Structure 1
């Protein structure tokens, strides 16, 4: 907790001094809470909720999405998969350092397993970010397996997902700066909403500047600005 607190306070002050980015105290607190919560979710299990309360998170509430550092674009991705149909849906949402909506997309994907469709979500996220011309990106997913493979060794992933993860890694290296980030589902709700089979919007559609109606409520629940 001390390390993450000092790190995010230092980053906020650095951005203010050198990049003239106004410090948003709420975003700093959320960044600390999410960083600690994500770390504890992996390493501490049942102790997570107790310790989150010490870093400003409302007791009983899960971490929320928070903006990327200045100049970065955060690309949140998620996927759903049906074993019966061997297919699923991929959702991609892009937002900037001011938490403004940039773009979103929804795709229908055929895949042999859940790990493969999660990898496809990251691939679609990289492709959309590159198409829109962004150079510094954070790819964020709630698939711990996929993010771990990209951060460490792709060979540790399931064999069905390895070919796609290899393509994702290559696309990531084409960006000027690309980071892989795992988040809990509660901090990835916008992308998650696009993967629902009940989503009314068509598949293989990209929304730019204005989000689809099904996303407005979710984006507003992040507590961040959403033009609509």
Structure 2
């Protein structure tokens, strides 16, 4: 397809921006590993890590290349933010999220279980070792699936704000690098043990409750009884979700 001179410039800019951002981020992570974990900087590994990040970026967007971005249109940036929605009757919704330390060596993972009325029924969080957001969010989803299996739950909707992870699980995208292959294999194994369920992507702003639990857990400020007695800020987020969800249904 001949995209023309203007579109060609835009495509070049998209590629340059993706390469620059991924390279700088990989250098920053290598620098943090050197400072905080005493890991020797390997330029080849850093470059390969940048390549994987670029591929993850295109995959998460559902693009094969920058031309696909032009075809879809840049106007998607102005799309309205989505809200958390109620699961259908007799179904449960489990939202998962994570929070990482600046060097991404440690993460708090969390999940929140809610019913068709939007009320929080259960949830949990853990502190784990991690080296990327995708790994941590995959671990959060694994924790949630284990919970669903151990409690023999049916009609479960799992939601994550990591689009790349969800696309891979739903076979809409290739595995994002060999480092995450084991994570995805374990998740697929867990899915095969579950009864009726689905895995869906949601925008970050629609995942605020699980995000709060993860961040508070990482900071050591999440009370053990947060499900039964949510702190004021968490209660406000839950009530906001309920208000917006009921407005959308109405």
TM score, norm. by length of structure 1: 0.66
Q: Residue in 1 aligned with 2:75? A: 47
Match of 2:221 among 181, 197, 200: 200
Q: Residue in 1 aligned with 2:139? A: 120
- Compare the two structures and name the one with the higher helix fraction: 2
1 CA distance for matches of 2:222 and 2:148? 21
2 CA distance for matches of 1:211 and 1:140? 23
1 CA distance for matches of 2:104 and 2:206? 28
> Are the structure 2 counterparts of residues 132 and 206 from structure 1 closer, same or farther at C-alpha, using a change threshold of 3 Å?
farther
Matches within 5 A, 1:86-125: 86-125=105-144
1 CA distance for matches of 2:122 and 2:73? 34
Q: Residue in 1 aligned with 2:53? A: none
Higher Rg: 2
Aligned to 2:219, what secondary structure does the other structure show? Answer: coil
TM score, norm. by length of structure 2: 0.61
2 CA distance for matches of 1:134 and 1:206? 22
Q: How many residues align?
A: 173
Give the CA deviation at 1:96.
Answer: 1.2
1 CA distance for matches of 2:168 and 2:182? 12
2 CA distance for matches of 1:91 and 1:120? 9
2 CA distance for matches of 1:150 and 1:193? 25
Give the CA deviation at 1:132.
Answer: 3.0
* 2:199 paired with 1:180: yes
- Compare the two structures and name the one with the higher strand fraction: 1
* 2:65 paired with 1:65: no
Aligned to 2:152, what secondary structure does the other structure show? Answer: coil
Aligned to 1:71, what secondary structure does the other structure show? Answer: coil
Q: Residue in 1 aligned with 2:230? A: 212
8 A Cα contact 2:135 2:180, kept in partner: yes
RMSD between aligned alpha carbons?
Answer: 2.7
> Are the structure 2 counterparts of residues 160 and 186 from structure 1 closer, same or farther at C-alpha, using a change threshold of 3 Å?
same
